[in-house]
Structures are given as structure tokens and as C-alpha cells.
A and B are shown apart, each in its own frame.
Chain A
Amino acid sequence: MARKDPGPKADRRRFLTGVVAAGAATAMTPVRSADVAAQAPRVPSALPPSMHVAQAETGTPRELARVKGIPGSDFMVDVIKTLGIKYLPANCASSYRAIHESLINYGGNRMPEFLTCMHEESAVGMAHGYFKVAGKPLMTLCHGTVGLQHATMGIYNAWCDRVPVIVVGGNDLDAATRPPGVPTFHSAQDINALVRDFTKWDDTPVSLQHFSQSFVRAYKIAMTPPYGPVMISLDAGLQQEPMKEHGEKPYIPRYVPTAPPQGDSGAVKEAARLLAGAQNPVIVADRAARTPNGMTLLVQLAELLQARVIDQGGRMNFPRTHYLSAPPAAVSGADVIIGLELSDFWATVNAYTDNAMKEGIGTNSTRIKRDAKLISISSVDLNTKANYQDFQRFQVIDVQMAADAEATLPALIEAVKSAIPNERKAAIAQRGEAARKAYAEGQERTRQAAALGWDASPVSTARLCMEVYGAVKGLDWSLVASEGNVSNWPNRLWPLEKYHHWLGRSGGYGVGYGAPASVGAALANRDLGRFSVSIQSDGDLMYAPGVLWTAAKHKIPLLAVMHNNRGYHQEVMHVQRLSNFRNRVANLGGDMGPVGTRIENPDVEYHKLAESMGWWAKGPIKDPAQLGPALREAVKVVQAGQPALLNVWTQPR
């Protein structure tokens, strides 16, 4: 990066030049000795080094002494510290060595504390999980090209899940002076281009003043709903160069949160009119509750209307123990449906069947009444991008607000209160009684379904989940991830009531989220004195199992109970399905599922893998009767501060 400042220059360039010169001098010595040999008859086998060579090899490079003043990366640490970022999970890399050094030495490795990660995707996943418990973003550092490419899947998950993560990539921009070889492969003109399609904003600061503005701006943008990841390319030269010794010192802008966008007052009023006049309104929420208060507000709205609530589980929106909690099928009888931060309104009100009909594309059908009115409040409408289309199929909406649902709920609640006429109140109360009955009947059916295969081996997913719940129910527990699809039993049977009881899913459904997000969320829960438990699938863990070591290294207690169905089971079913559609026998290749979909022969011994990285672990557990006692042991280990893993062989779903 070209710099205009005539003050102290980045001496790292000269230092490296010096190192290269020293090497060259060493290499040239034999040539000089050859000249000497031409004049003298006897040549010693090992010539003593010349003064110049000896100094280059053993002395302090004189260029080092020229590094004066405050390193630019120290100022960067000052900026970061103003934002109260507690941790920095990252995989180390030379392109950010200067800020790394400043963080741990100048910054004292506090606020943020550097957490050693073994994969950039793990680092981003940890930040993702951490935010969903703490409500505060973390930052991560990565190599500008190779590291950022590793991080991309994690960033995409965070984008789809509307989670703020501050990603900083080291990049040696000045091609004329950067060290040759590897640093060039690890640099690019515009590293941010890799993730621009799924970040809210990115920048490449070219001065320290630019950095302080960019970093605070990045934090602010990431933390304005809809939340999302942001990216800063950090020039290696800017990190390493000292601050100017003259002129004004760069200032650090104060962070002031931006208020989230509220729905238009006219649209809120119209939505309230429709809801108040409905015979059977239904509320559907996906990422509606950004904070615990979002849950409180949603309960208020639901009880005011005695409307059933379908929680799609992007966040913990509504208590599952509430009689108004309803299954997805509840939309079928609705005359007004309000969707709050839905990522897929179309699939909420329509069904798709993958049956190879209609020239192989499958069939669509509506799930709702033809004249049902639809209302949407979603902040994602304010932040869509063209390339990665996570907004799903187009759905016509009658009242659509590009606004944050949680921020709009107080106004909507007041508007609904005003819109309900007195003569409707008895009918609304009656609706609540019907909901109570439906809820009780649904609970009974669900429990009986859970009893099926209760004593089967491998362990049924219902048994797995309820044994786990039985082991943690007396604690202040947090289910930090539930990966691999366990037939949704925690959402159907666990008394999910508090915001931290359920943290949602990955967002982008990129496999490999569960393990790092669990560790990140467990880190936040550790600081709050909570017990963290995860349902950990086998395929997910194998993407980057090194995060187990990170948990042990940094003393992050977590109980990971494996849903080890020994396969990428979604793909097992997909390939079987296609085989059947084409009337071919699926080639199992000696496994239990189609070739390329199973994780067996040999079986992975996850308990040994975890043990090798400092975890307490047991397994494989195939007999359901052994699960309860093993869980009780594991809970004690986790309560003592150590992570623990149980490798449980399970039914497929």
C-alpha cells in the first residue's frame, strides 16, 4: 500500500532485505574463496567467515534497532479494546503477526483473549455460538487468502443465521516490497472479495485513522439488525509500521449502537386490524427473538390474541411448555398468519414433495386456506444480496414490513390492544381453551411416539434426547447445539422455556457448525455459570475435530453427547431416493447405505479421538441401558470444569 507519510518508515522491509543480503553474502563466500584459491596453492577445507558474514550471521540485525515509536498494531489493539470484545478465537498466521504480538504483549492477552484454534472455520463457528449466548460479537483473525478460504463456510453460516462476527484478514498488500515466496501466495489485491457476497460490509483501511473508523464502523454495522458478519482486510505493513511521531494522533470513534428499524406505523396498524379481527390467527417465528425480551414480547402478543405460535427454531422464540405452542401444521386452519423474521415464508405456507413428479422436480401444494391473509415483519428485507439467495422462493404477502420484529412488537402489541373490540374478547378467550386442549393432546401423542423403539439398539433418538435431559434437568442447562437431526425431539419434549435453552441452528446448514458453535456457546455459558450440553453428530464433528483440543486447552466445560448414526444420513436417504426413482438397486459397496454416504468400515472411535485431545470420554455406547449411568458420570466431569464426550451409536433419525 502506497503511503504518503514521510515519517518513520516500515523497517520490516529493510530488515528482510538485510536478511536476504546476509544470505547472499554467505552464498558468495565460496566464490571469493575460489578467487583466492587461484592465487594460492593450498586452500583450507573450511575458511573462517569474513567479518561481514560473521556479523550477518550472529549479530543483531542493525535494521531492528531502527524500529522506533509505537507500533501501528498497538494502536489497533487500543481501538479493539474500546469495544469490549472478550475473546478472539483464531488460527495463527504470519500475515497478522504484528497485531498478534501486540494483542498478547502490549494488550496483555485480555479483552480480547486469544484462543488457539486449529481451523479458521472452527474460529468463526466459535464466535457464532458465543454470540447466541452472550449477545456480544467476537472477532477473529485469519490469513488473507488461505485462512479466509477456510473460514468462508463459517462466515456463510453466520450470514444466513444473522449473527455478527468481525473477521479480520491479514494481507500484505505492497507487492513491490512484501517478502517473496509464501507471503505472496497468501496475499491478494482484494481478499474481501471472497466473502463480499455474504458479509454485510467490508473495508481495507490504508491508514491507522482509517482503521479506527473502519473497525468501529464494522462493529456498528454488524450489530445493527439484521445482524451479520463483516470483514476487514488488514495490511501487514500498516500493522508493523510505527505510528507517526509528528502530527495529530489518530482518534478512536466512540461506539454508539444504532437503533433497530421499526415497522411503519400504518403497516403496524393494518396488521393489528387483521389480527384483531381474525377468527384463527397464527403466529410463526423463526429468528424473531434477538434477545430474551423478544420471547417476553411474543408471549404477550400470543396471549393477547390467544393465537397459537409455531416456533421454527431459528432462535428460542416461544416457550414449548406454553399451551399456545403449536406444531407447523397449525397454519392449515388460520385465516391470518403473521411471520416474524422468517427465512422461508413460502415453505411456511406451502408444501413441497420430493417425489420426482412433474418431470422430476417434485410437487408443490398449499398448506393454508386460499383467502388467508399474510403479514410479515422481517429485517432481512433490508439486506438482501444477489448471488447467494437465502431469501427462498417468492411469496406474496398482504402486509409486509421491512423492519426488525422484536423492535416492532411493542408497537404491534399496543395496536392490537386498541384494535380488539370488547365484543370479540369472549371469542378470543374461547380460542385459548381450544388451544389448551390441542396442546395437551399433542403432548400425549408425542410422548407415545417417543416410546417406540425405546429399548432398541442402537439407541433411539428419542431415548438419547430424554436420557440427556434426565441427566441435566436439575441444572441451569443450555442446549448449545443439536446437530444431525434427532427427529426434533428436544423441541418436542424438552421444556424449553428460557432463551438460552435453545440456540437455533447453523443458518446455512453447512455441516461442521455444531462442534465449534457448541464450544463457543459453552465458553459464554461458562462465564455465566451455566451447564452446556450438545447433541453432536458424527459427520459434523469430523469436519474439524481440532476444536475439541481448543475446548480442553482453554478449559471450556461442555457435555457433548454423540448422535453417531455412522453416516451422512441426509445423503444416505437422498441417494437411496434417486436410486428408487430410477428403478435401480442402490450400490451399497459393502456398507449399510449407498456408496459415498456412510462413515463405517472402519468405525471412527470418537471417544478415543476426544480423549487424545484432553477430553474425558466414553463409548461406544450401543445399549440404551448403559447411557443413563454414563451420562451421570459425564455430568460430574463437566461440572468439575472439563469437557466430556459420550460416543453413542444411534438410530438414523
Chain B
Amino acid sequence: MRIAPLRLIAAIAALLAAPLAVAAGSADKGRLAYVKHGCWQCHGFVGQGGVTGPKLAPNPMPPEALSAFVRNAAGAMPPYQKAILSDEDLADIHAYLQSLPKAPDYKSIPLLNP
């Protein structure tokens, strides 16, 4: 209980500071970084999400928000601090998520309309 407010403050501080820190990344590099850092484990290889983690793509959250959340996650998601995930890799991951196509409307998939 003592730690949570500190993390919240840190998250807000990171959110405010993030626009300067987050650079545009490479989707190709991001695809590899996404696997290397284990994002796929809870969110799936194409960010589709599941019972273990929410969907990340398409339309990922803005890079600043993603950075703030990833660095300071205090809920079910474990935090990824800079020692284990660099700013560059994080920017690449965001670029990868941004590159993923929109999912089809379920109404266009016969198997989802039995």
C-alpha cells in the first residue's frame, strides 16, 4: 500500500516526460523485440490479447502512454524498466503494434456467426 502511490506519481511523471523520450521506431525491429521481451506471452503474437492480457493492436495506445504504462505497471502486468527494455526497443515495439492491420468485422466471418 505504501508503494502504490509512489508508482502512481512515477507513472504521471513518466507520462509528462515521455513525449521527449519516445522516438519513432522500426516496425521490423519491433516485431523481433516484441518476441524477445516476451510481450507475445500474454498479448499474443499480433497483439490480439486473450484471458491473460488485453489486446494491444490494432490502434495501440499512444507511445507516451504505452511507455508510461510499461515502465510503471502496477496491476496484473509486470513492469518493464529500462534495465530490461530500452527506450529504443519500446519505440520499435510500438511501431510494430501500429503496423498491424485492423481485424475483420466478426460479421464477415461465417464461423463467428453460426
Interface set of A (CB-CB < 8 Å, partner B): 353-358, 447-456, 458, 460-461, 463, 466-467, 469-470, 473, 485, 487-488, 493, 495, 569, 572-573, 576-577, 579-581, 583-586, 588, 592-593, 651-653
Contacts and interface: CB of A to CB of B under 8 A. Distances in A.
Between A355, A449, A452, A487, the greatest number of chain B beta carbons within 10 A of the residue's beta carbon is seen for A452
Q: Nearest 6 CB-CB pairs, A to B?
A: A453-B48, A580-B78, A452-B48, A487-B50, A653-B50, A447-B106
B8 to A, nearest CB: 12
Interface of B: 1, 3-4, 35-36, 38, 40-42, 44-52, 55, 73-76, 78-81, 83-84, 103-106, 109, 111-114
A357 to B, nearest CB: 6
A581 B40 contact: no
Contacts of A473: 114
Contact of A580 (B4, B80, B111, B112): B80
Between B73, B80, B109, the greatest number of chain A beta carbons within 10 A of the residue's beta carbon is seen for B109
Nearest to A357: B3
A452 B55 contact: yes
Given A358-B1, A451-B106, A583-B83, A652 B44 contact: yes
Contacts of A466: 111-112
A375 B104 CA distance: 44
A463 B46 CA distance: 14
B114 A453 contact: no
Contacts of A358: 1
Contacts of B83: 583-585
B84 A451 contact: no
A583 B44 CA distance: 23
Given A452-B49, A466-B112, 16 more contacts: A353-B76, A354-B76, A355-B73, A357-B74, A448-B105, A449-B55, A450-B112, A454-B104, A456-B46, A463-B111, A488-B51, A581-B79, A586-B38, A586-B84, A593-B38, A652-B41
Contacts of B42: 573, 652-653
A234 B80 CA distance: 57
A555 to B, nearest CB: 31
A452 B52 CA distance: 15
Given A461-B50, A653-B50, A470 B114 contact: yes
B41 A569 contact: yes
A495 B4 CA distance: 42
A453 B103 contact: yes
Contacts of B73: 355
A452 B45 CA distance: 11
A652 B50 CA distance: 9
B46 to A, nearest CB: 5
Contacts, number: 117
A483 to B, nearest CB: 14
B45 A470 contact: no
Nearest to B101: A455
A651 B40 CA distance: 9
A583 B109 contact: no
11 contacts: A353-B76, A357-B4, A447-B112, A449-B49, A450-B112, A466-B111, A493-B112, A576-B78, A586-B38, A593-B38, A593-B41
A174 B106 CA distance: 69
A458 B112 CA distance: 19
B73 to A, nearest CB: 8
A477 to B, nearest CB: 13
Contacts of B84: 579-580, 583-586
B45 A456 contact: yes
A458 B106 contact: no
A181 to B, nearest CB: 50
Nearest to B110: A470
A593 B42 CA distance: 12
A456 B48 CA distance: 10
Contacts of A449: 49, 55
Given A451-B104, A453-B48, A651-B48, A580 B79 contact: yes
A448 B106 contact: yes
Contacts of A485: 51
Contacts of B114: 469-470, 473, 495
A572 to B, nearest CB: 6
B40 to A, nearest CB: 6
Contact of B48 (A353, A460, A580): A460
Contacts of A463: 111
A573 to B, nearest CB: 5
Between B1, B74, B84, B111, the greatest number of chain A beta carbons within 10 A of the residue's beta carbon is seen for B111
A161 to B, nearest CB: 21
B80 A487 contact: no
A461 B106 CA distance: 15
A579 B78 CA distance: 9
Nearest to B54: A449
Contact of A460 (B44, B80, B105): B44
Contacts of B36: 588
Contacts of A469: 111, 114
A248 B36 CA distance: 75
Contact of A454 (B47, B50, B109): B109
A653 B44 contact: yes
A577 B84 CA distance: 12
A454 to B, nearest CB: 6
Nearest to B56: A452
A569 B38 CA distance: 11
Given A593-B41, A653-B44, A470 B79 contact: no
B112 A653 contact: no
Nearest to B82: A583
Contacts of A353: 75-76
Nearest to B84: A585
A124 B2 CA distance: 49
A461 B52 CA distance: 13
